[in-house]
Amino acid sequence: MADASVRYFDSTMSGAPSLSGTAGALISVLDACLTNGFGTVTLDSLVVASNVATGTVSAGHGFTMIGSTVGSVITIAGATPAGLNGTWRIASVADSTHFTFVTSGISDQTATGTITAVRTPLGFSKVYSGTNKAAYRADDVASSRLYLRVADDGTGAATYARIRGYESMSDVDTGAGPFPTDAQQSGGLYWGKSSAASSTARAWRLFGDSQGFYLFVNQDGAGAWIGAAWIDIPSEKAGDAYRTLIIGGINATIVNMGTLPVIGAQSGHYFARTYAQTGTAIPAIKLSHHVAASGLGVGGLSYPAPMGNQFYCAPVDAWEGVGYTTVTALRGPMPGLYAPLHPSAQLTDGSYQTDVIGLDGRTLFVQTIKYISSNYAAAIDLTGPWR
């Protein structure tokens, strides 16, 4: 059966919350994608035949295939036999009322019960909350289980939220082991929502698994996507309990918040502690194999590559340090994130790449990104697993 650990959500999906320059809008998006799921439907029938389950929703299921190759991940509940209840990746969408997923070991039959399907969240708990504030923590016991605090209460401006990680927390406003510290970034980092403090909806995308995610927002409504992250790195250090990397903006200017594609510079990147598990928050940078540029999707081969019309990309690694000449330790690879070896201007935002050199069987999503006045692009694995 297809891996279901990697999940993709965006603002065009049925039941998706709206993101705007209003207080609490980002909390709604994170609640839906991390904790609750969204787009619940009640099935008219669920029929298993030859290890393929076909769901029918006469009112319309709202589920989609992503690039015609990767299905949404859903959770089925309320079905008998109980083996149908759980998380599945959709295998096909025949039309607006029918979808399928592949089962194993369930005999041919028509399921009974009040059966529902919902887009499956990443698997985080909203541990603490306040008015337009929240602290999230991954449920996965294999993760670092550090705390992500989001203050989306309009303090400063409703166009962004303030973001910070903590090693422990006792309520939504109180925590120990902050990253970044106030000395490093007073008040924490910035995740942008909109260039306007209004209810005008902005497109968003979120890619993740049970140990973290990448968030992208079309902040101006005109294609200026900004990128941020909260992600556990598969660490080179055994037993690394502080491997969570937080990425965000360093000031309240929204075009400065899309620091995710930056290569070789520290701006807005922090680990909770060093690889040695000592001290406090430490700056981090990203480096990429074969990328000798300032960011992902900057320069490189023309696209498609002249050698054989291919798409090329390279893994991205997270290091401790503030620049090329100051790196002190390789922390590990960025899960699911790749650097296109082509200029972003030649790539199409929201397009899909299959049969990628060195990534057989994977489908990559091309995400363009804007940081200050420069254009970048990332490629994100939709197929999984990332780890």
Distance between CA atoms of 271 and 299, rounded to whole angstroms? Answer: 29
Would the pLDDT of 54 be above 90?
Answer: yes
| Residues above pLDDT 70, as percent of the chain | 100
Residue-wise DSSP of 266-312: -TTEEESS-TTS-SS-EEEEEEETT--SSBTTSS-S-SS-TTTS---
CB 387 within 8 A of CB 234: yes
Q: Judging by DSSP bridges, how do beta strands 45-49 and 124-130 pair with one another?
A: unpaired
Question: Taking the complete model, does pTM exceed 0.85, yes or no?
Answer: yes
Structure tokens at 73: 């991940």
Mean pLDDT lowest among 26-30, 308-312, 322-326, 335-339: 322-326
**DSSP 8-state secondary structure symbol assigned to residue 51:** T
Q: Residue 355 pLDDT > 90, yes or no?
A: no
pLDDT of residue 227: 98
pLDDT at 292: 67
- The ranges assigned to domains in the chain are 25-33+122-381, 38-119
Does pLDDT of 358 surpass 90? no
Whether 150 and 130 have beta carbons less than 8 Å apart is answered as: no
* Residue 98, burial from CB neighbour count under 10 angstroms (0-12, 13-18, 19+): middle
Report the alpha-carbon distance of residue 185 to residue 190 in Å, rounded.
10
pLDDT tens per residue, range 58-83: 999 999 998 778 999 999 999 999 99
Tell me the two tokens of residue 289. 């194999």
Q: Tell me what pLDDT residue 137 has.
A: 98
Fold of 38-119: Elongation Factor Tu (Ef-tu); domain 3 (2.40.30)
DSSP-derived secondary structure for 86-100: EEEE--EEEETTEEE
pLDDT at 126: 98
Q: Mean pLDDT throughout 240-255?
A: 97
CA–CA distances in Å: residue 302 to residues 40, 231, 347, 383: 43, 31, 10, 26
- Residue 261 has φ and ψ, to the nearest 5°, of -80, 0
Q: What angle do CA 59, 63, 64 make, to 5 degrees?
A: 135
